Amino acid sequence: MRSEQPKMIYLKDYQAPDYLIDETHLTFELFEDHSLVHAQLVMRRNPACAAGDPGNDLPPLVLDGQQLELLALALDGQALTEADYQLSDSHLSLQPKAASFVIDSSVRIHPESNTALEGLYKSGSMFCTQCEAEGFRKITYYLDRPDVMSKFTTTLSAEQHRYPVLLSNGNPIASGPEETAAGKSVRHWATWEDPFMKPAYLFALVAGDLWCVEDSFTTMSQREVALRIYVEPENVDKCQHAMDSLKKSMRWDEETYGREYDLDIFMIVAVNDFNMGAMENKGLNIFNSSCVLAKAETATDAAHQRVEAVVAHEYFHNWSGNRVTCRDWFQLSLKEGFTVFRDAEFSADMNSRTVKRIEDVAYLRTHQFAEDAGPMAHPVRPDAFIEISNFYTLTVYEKGSEVVRMIRTLLGSEGFRKGSDLYFERHDGQAVTCDDFIKAMEDANGVDLSQFKRWYSQGGTPRLAVSEAYDAAAKRYSLTFSQSCPATPGQSEKLPFVIPVELGLLVAQGGELPLRLAGEAAASGTSRVIAICEAEQTVIFEDVAERPLPSLLRGFSAPVKLSFPYNRDQLMFLMQHDSDGFNRWEAGQQLSVQVLQELIGQHQRGEPLVMDQRLIAALRSVLDNQQLDQAMVAEMLSLPGEAFLTEISEVADVEAIHSAREFARLQLAEALYEPLWQRYQDNRDVSRSSTYIAEDQHFARRSLQNIALSYLMLSSKPEVLAACLEQFEACDNMTERLTALAVLINSPFGAEKAKALASFADFFKDNPLVMDQWFSVQAASALPGALARVQQLMQHPAFTLKNPNKVRALIGAFAGQNLVNFHQADGSGYRFLADQVITLNALNPQIASRLLAPLTRWGKYDAARQSLMKAELERILASGELSSDVFEVVSKSLA
Element (H, E) at 105: strand 100-109
Give the nearest distance from C-beta 320 to Zn ion in angstroms.
9
Q: Does 886 bind ligand TRP (CB under 6 A)?
A: no
DSSP β-bridge partners for residue 166: 207
Q: Does 392 bind ligand TRP (CB under 6 A)?
A: yes
* 672 Cβ contact partners less than 8 Å away, ≥ 6 residues apart: 616, 619, 620, 623, 711
Q: Which of 156, 210, 271, 279 binds ligand TRP (CB under 6 A)?
A: 279
Cβ atoms of residues 699 and 305 within 8 Å: yes
Give the nearest distance from C-beta 326 to ligand TRP in angstroms.
10
Q: Within 10 A of 71 (CB to CB), how many other CB atoms are there?
A: 12
Question: Strand 463-471 vs strand 561-563: parallel, antiparallel, or unpaired?
Answer: parallel
Binding mask 301-320 for ligand TRP (x = CB under 6 A): ------------xx------
Of 336 and 398, nearer to ligand TRP (C-beta) is 336
Of 790 and 851, nearer to ligand TRP (C-beta) is 851
Cβ atoms of residues 637 and 671 within 8 Å: no
User: Which residue has the closest beta carbon to ligand TRP?
Assistant: 276
Among ligand TRP, Zn ion, none, partner that 192 touches (CB below 5 to 8 angstroms by kind): none
Length of the chain: 895
Of 336 and 502, nearer to ligand TRP (C-beta) is 336
Give the nearest distance from C-beta 400 to ligand TRP in angstroms.
11
Of 146 and 504, nearer to ligand TRP (C-beta) is 146
Of 318 and 818, nearer to ligand TRP (C-beta) is 318
Stretch that binds ligand TRP, among 33-41, 126-134, 409-417, 702-710 (CB under 6 A): 126-134
Of 335 and 789, nearer to ligand TRP (C-beta) is 335
- Furthest-apart CA atoms within the chain: distance in Å: 102
Element (H, E) at 856: helix 853-856
Element (H, E) at 454: helix 454-457
Task: Break the chain down into helix, strand, coil percent, rounded to 5.
Answer: 45, 20, 35
Give the nearest distance from C-beta 6 to ligand TRP in angstroms.
17
Among ligand TRP, Zn ion, none, partner that 389 touches (CB below 5 to 8 angstroms by kind): ligand TRP
Residues numbered 398 to 457 that lie near ligand TRP (CB under 6 A) are none
Residues numbered 460 to 519 that lie near ligand TRP (CB under 6 A) are none
Q: Does 133 bind ligand TRP (CB under 6 A)?
A: yes
Reference 720, options 731, 709, 728, 730; nearest CA is 709
Of 325 and 339, nearer to Zn ion (C-beta) is 339
Q: Does 134 bind ligand TRP (CB under 6 A)?
A: no
CA distance 410 to 740: 45
- Total number of residues binding Zn ion (CB under 5 A)? 2
Sheet holding 126-130, edge to edge: 119-123, 126-130, 205-208, 165-168
* 711 Cβ contact partners less than 8 Å away, ≥ 6 residues apart: 637, 665, 668, 669, 672, 676
Q: Does 129 bind ligand TRP (CB under 6 A)?
A: no
Of 343 and 642, nearer to ligand TRP (C-beta) is 343
Q: Does 130 bind ligand TRP (CB under 6 A)?
A: yes
Of 363 and 673, nearer to Zn ion (C-beta) is 363
544: helix, strand or coil: coil
Query: Identity (one letter) of the amino acid at 283?
Result: G
Query: Identity (one letter) of the amino acid at 829?
Result: G
Of 202 and 820, nearer to Zn ion (C-beta) is 202
Cβ atoms of residues 607 and 598 within 8 Å: no
Q: Does 735 bind ligand TRP (CB under 6 A)?
A: no
Q: Which of 18, 29, 64, 132 binds ligand TRP (CB under 6 A)?
A: 132
Give the nearest distance from C-beta 267 to Zn ion in angstroms.
17
CA distance 852 to 856: 7
Residue 322: half-sphere exposure toward Cβ, Cα within 13 Å: 28
Of 307 and 539, nearer to ligand TRP (C-beta) is 307
Q: Does 276 bind ligand TRP (CB under 6 A)?
A: yes
DSSP β-bridge partners for residue 119: 130
350-361 as b/e: b if 16+ CB within 10 A: bbbbbbbbbbbb
Q: Does 190 bind ligand TRP (CB under 6 A)?
A: no
471: helix, strand or coil: strand
817: helix, strand or coil: helix
Give the nearest distance from C-beta 310 to ligand TRP in angstroms.
8
Alpha carbon separation from 409 to 341, 413, 426, 520, 553 (Å, rounded): 12, 7, 23, 21, 12
Reference 219, options 265, 170, 284; nearest CA is 265
Residues numbered 661 to 700 that lie near Zn ion (CB under 5 A) are none
Q: Does 885 bind ligand TRP (CB under 6 A)?
A: no
Of 313 and 808, nearer to ligand TRP (C-beta) is 313
CA distance 296 to 618: 34
Residues numbered 320 to 379 that lie near Zn ion (CB under 5 A) are 336, 339
Residue 177: half-sphere exposure toward Cβ, Cα within 13 Å: 7
Query: Identity (one letter) of the amino acid at 274?
Result: F
Reference 849, options 814, 816, 888, 815; nearest CA is 888
First-to-last CA distance in the chain? 22
Instruction: Return the HEC string of 560-613.
Output: CEEECCCCHHHHHHHHHHCCCHHHHHHHHHHHHHHHHHHHHHHHHCCCCCCCCH
Q: Does 275 bind ligand TRP (CB under 6 A)?
A: yes
Give the nearest distance from C-beta 303 to ligand TRP in angstroms.
18
Question: Is position 314 annotated as part of the catalytic site?
Answer: yes
Q: Does 389 bind ligand TRP (CB under 6 A)?
A: yes
Q: Does 786 bind ligand TRP (CB under 6 A)?
A: no
Binding mask 332-351 for ligand TRP (x = CB under 6 A): ----x---------------
Long-range contacts of the stretch 877-880 (C-beta < 8 A, 24+): 879/838, 879/841
Kindly calculate the radius of gyration of the chain based on its CA atoms and give it in whole angstroms.
Answer: 28
Among ligand TRP, Zn ion, none, partner that 64 touches (CB below 5 to 8 angstroms by kind): none
- Total number of residues binding ligand TRP (CB under 6 A)? 13
Cβ atoms of residues 772 and 796 within 8 Å: no
How many separate helices (H) and strands (E) can be counted in the chain? 31, 31
Catalytic residue among 314, 336, 512, 647: 314
193: helix, strand or coil: strand
Give the nearest distance from C-beta 336 to Zn ion in angstroms.
5
Q: Which of 280, 308, 512, 586 binds ligand TRP (CB under 6 A)?
A: 280
Of 192 and 287, nearer to ligand TRP (C-beta) is 287
Question: Strand 284-288 vs strand 265-271: parallel, antiparallel, or unpaired?
Answer: parallel
Q: Which residues bind Zn ion (CB under 5 A)?
A: 336, 339
Residues that bind ligand TRP (CB under 6 A): 130, 132-133, 275-276, 278-280, 313-314, 336, 389, 392
Instruction: Give catalytic residue positions.
Output: 314
